[in-house]
Amino acid sequence: MSTFSRAQVEGKCGPDSCWVIVNNSVYDITTFLADHPGGDDILLEYGGKDITSVLHDPHYHNHSDAAYDVLSEYYQGELVDKEPLMISTTKSAYKKDVRDEQFLDLRKALFPQLWNATYSKAYYLEMIHKPRHVPYCVPYFDNDVLDLLSKTPWYVVPTLWLPFVVFQLWRSVTEMNGSIEVATKGLMAGILFWSLFEYVLHRFLFHLDDFVPDHWFALLLHFTLHGIHHHMPMDRLRLVMPPALTIILSVPVFSLGHALFYPALAHAFIGGVFFGYICYDMIHYYLHHAKVFKFYFRELKRYHIAHHYKNYNLGFGITSKLWDHVFGTVLYMDNEK
């Protein structure tokens, strides 16, 4: 086990080398700066310092067990000149849990490991909700071509689907009984419908944990659909929805739109749903990987990060809390009643 003096740690306080002390243990969080949910500025403010009390300070953010699991990835060693622990805690020792390595080796392709997995559903669900962070995109397939197809950069979503939205609105205006007024009404109705559809998908499909069969193939599907995002929430290339999944989920939207409305309104409605989806994926990526605007988005980011790191059974809204309020699944913060 490596040991360090406080003076050594204090010298590592910049963006190129940022270390911190927690309960007399030393962590190198340099590669985590860009992906810290609260932004890198707060980490750099405390670079080279003992942050034990800060992690428990509700003024900044009272960190959950999941946050300490992520911290364990960066363990370097212990202090030589230790001080008495001022914070009593039931948290782990902040060193990597051997059980994590027994679940998935993030240096190898994930699909073959899940295909050959023998662990139980209970163990699987416990592990996927212990967030991990690595400074690289973990391969999903051994085959390079298949692995490339499993990755979706954020800009693919607006590039691919915004022209489709424009096409649907054009069809709405040019159809019989179509007009700009009809297109506007359909667009607004589609956006509102998407906000509900987003909630339903997240709560009843992506988080169908209790109803997933205790079978390796069911767990593989669950991980591929959403489990991978909860296990590695800061993976930039597996955050927005792949086009193939979008197409599959759009089938009932097309059917519903044309079943309920005449063609001009149906096209605008479908365009609105897809525009709502684009906003959803862009906001989702923005909340995970950007220093967000204080107005509206800072609270939304705080809310969504709490869904990942505090309670994944609540807080299903991404673009808003509207349907969480309607259905009683609001995730309240520590200082809220």
Burial class, 216, CB count within 10 angstroms (exposed 0-12 / middle 13-18 / buried 19+): middle
Q: What is the pLDDT of residue 34?
A: 74
Residue burial 84-105, b: 16+ Cβ < 10 Å; e: rest: eeeeeeebeebebeeebeebbe
Rounded CA-CA distance 109/106 in Å is 7
User: Each residue of 190-211: pLDDT tens digit?
Assistant: 999 999 999 999 999 999 999 9
What is the dihedral sign for C-alpha 275, 277, 283, 289?
negative
Q: Which residue has the tokens 């490991």?
A: 113
Rounded CA-CA distance 96/70 in Å is 9
Residues in the chain, pLDDT under 70: 38, 57-62, 64-66, 82-101, 334-337
Rounded CA-CA distance 197/322 in Å is 12
Q: What is the pTM of this model?
A: 0.82
Q: What is the pLDDT of residue 250?
A: 92
User: Each residue of 239-269: pLDDT tens digit?
Assistant: 999 999 899 989 999 999 999 999 999 999 9
Please name which of 230, 229, 235, 228 lies closest in space to residue 35, comparing C-alpha atoms. 235
DSSP state of 18: E
Rounded CA-CA distance 29/71 in Å is 8
DSSP3 helix / strand / coil % (the chain, rounded to 5): 55, 5, 40
- Lookup: tokens for 195: 């906000």
DSSP string, 266-327: HHHHHHHHHHHHHHHHHHHHHHHHS---TTTHHHHHHHHHHHHHT-TTS---SS-SHHHHHH
Q: What is the pLDDT of residue 219?
A: 95
User: Each residue of 291-312: pLDDT tens digit?
Assistant: 888 899 989 998 998 899 889 9
Q: Residue count of the chain, please give it.
A: 337
Phi, psi of 41 (to 5 degrees): -65, -40
Q: What is the pLDDT of residue 92?
A: 45
Pairing state between β 3-4 and 25-28: unpaired
Rounded CA-CA distance 332/337 in Å is 7
CB within 8 A of 161, min separation 6: which ones? 246, 274, 277, 278
